[in-house]
Structure 1
Amino acid sequence: MFFATYRRFSTTYRESGGKTGKPCYNADRTHGGGHLKITLEHIPGQEPEVILRGDTESREAKAVLATLNHASSFGKLVLQEEDESFLVDPGDICYFEASGGRTYAVTKDGRFEIREKLYELAAALNSKGFIQINKSTVVNINFVRSIAAEFSGNYSARMKDSDETLTISRKYFQTFKEFVRR
C-alpha cells in the first residue's frame, strides 16, 4: 500500500543498500520547486517507522500526511513531534491526555501530539484496553500497575515502568472498575 500511494506522483523507485546493509527503497520527486524524498529501509525484527522531514506544507507532504492519517484505520495511530510524524501501534501508548486544546499520546519514549480528540480515542480504542479515567485522560489498562484510594474520594493509578500516577476521578471510577473486571 505504501508504494502504491506514491506511484501516483509518477515517482520511480530504486533499491539500494541501507545503513544496515539491508535493502533500502528510495524515491525522489521534484515538482514546482518542492522536493520530497522517501526512504523505506527493511530492518528485520523492528517495528515500521515513518519519518517525514522537510516542507510539510507542500502538496506531496500533505498527501503523505493524509495517507498516514488514513493508516490509523488499519490499526496504527499517527503521532507528531515538531515536523515529524510517526506510525505507532495503540498498544505502545500508555495513555492519552488533553491539555490546552490539544491531545497528546504518552509512550515510554515521550509525549507526542495526536490529531484525534480524546473522546474519539476513548471510543475507538475501548476494545484495545483503553478507558477514560477523568475529564482529560484515557489510559491503556495494560500499563496500570496498581490502584489506590485517595482521601478526596478519587483514586490514583500508578503506571508500570515509571513513578507516574494518574487520577481516576469518582465520576469515572465505577466504569473503570467494570472495565477491569471484564
Structure 2
Amino acid sequence: MKITIETPLPGEEDEIIIKMATLSDDVLKMVRRLKDGTGKDTMAVYEDESIRMVPTRDILYFDATDNRVFAYTRENCFETRKKLFEIEELLAGSAFLRISKNAIVNIKAIDHLSPEFNGRFIASLKNGEDIIISRGYVPELKKKLGIGK
C-alpha cells in the first residue's frame, strides 16, 4: 500500500483521500475514528453530570453491569456512554483486551496472573483488584502477552 502525505497550499482545506479497490474493516474503523474525532489517547467518561477526558493509559479495565459500562482507574469509577463492543473496536490494537463477556482489561495494569479452575485465570491488577479472565479469552491473552503456544 502506498501512503502519500502532502502539505496543503496556503488557504487550502485539509483533506484525506482514500483510494482503495476494496475498503478493509481496519480502514473503515480508522475512518470512523477520524470522523468521530476519537482516538486511543483519551476517552470521554461521565462523573455525575460532568464529562471528563481520561487518558486511556490510566484506565485499568472496563466492566459492563446492568446495561451500563464503567471505566475503572486506580482511584475512580466512571460511566461511559459506549457499549463494550464499541470500546473494544475503538481500542483494537492497543494494550486493551476483551477478557470476558462483560469486561475489557488494560494488560499493562495486570500485576500478576493466577490459574483458576476450569481453565480460567485471575488477573490481579496494580490497584489490588482481582478480575476473572474467562477460559475462552485465555488463549488471546497468552498470545498478547507472548506466552504459551
The one-letter amino acid paired with 2:119 is: G
Structure 2 residue 89 is matched with structure 1 residue 89 = no
TM-score for the superposition, normalised by structure 1: 0.58
Q: Percent identity?
A: 30
Structure 2 residue 138 is matched with structure 1 residue 173 = yes
Q: Is the 8 A contact 1:105 1:112 kept in 2?
A: yes
| Residue of structure 2 in register with 1:140 after alignment | 106
SS in structure 1 opposite 2:139? helix
TM-score for the superposition, normalised by structure 2: 0.70
Distance 1:140 1:74 in 2: 12
| Residue of structure 2 in register with 1:100 after alignment | 66
CA deviation after TM superposition for structure 1 residue 141, in Å = 0.5
Distance 2:96 2:139 in 1: 15
- What does 1:57-136 correspond to in 2, within 5 Å? 72-73=38-39, 75-136=41-102
Q: Is the 8 A contact 1:71 1:77 kept in 2?
A: no
Return structure 1 stretches of 4+ with deviation > 6 angstroms.
none
Name which one, 1 or 2, has greater alpha-carbon Rg: 1
- What does 1:36-47 correspond to in 2, within 5 Å? none
Distance 1:73 1:155 in 2: 30
Structure 2 residues without counterparts, runs of 5 or longer: 1-35
SS in structure 1 opposite 2:88? helix
CA deviation after TM superposition for structure 1 residue 125, in Å = 1.1
CA deviation after TM superposition for structure 1 residue 161, in Å = 3.0
SS in structure 1 opposite 2:99? strand
Higher strand fraction: Structure 1 or Structure 2?
1
Q: 2:127 aligns with which of 146, 157, 161?
A: 161
> How many residues are treated as equivalent by the alignment?
112
Pairwise CA RMSD: 1.7
Distance 1:144 1:74 in 2: 19
Distance 1:171 1:85 in 2: 34
> Once the two structures are superposed, what CA deviation does each residue of 1:105-129 show, in whole Å capped at 9, x if it has no partner?
0011211001111111112213220
Distance 1:135 1:153 in 2: 16
Structure 1 residues without counterparts, runs of 5 or longer: 1-69
Structure with more contact order per residue of length (Cα contacts < 8 Å, sep ≥ 6): 2
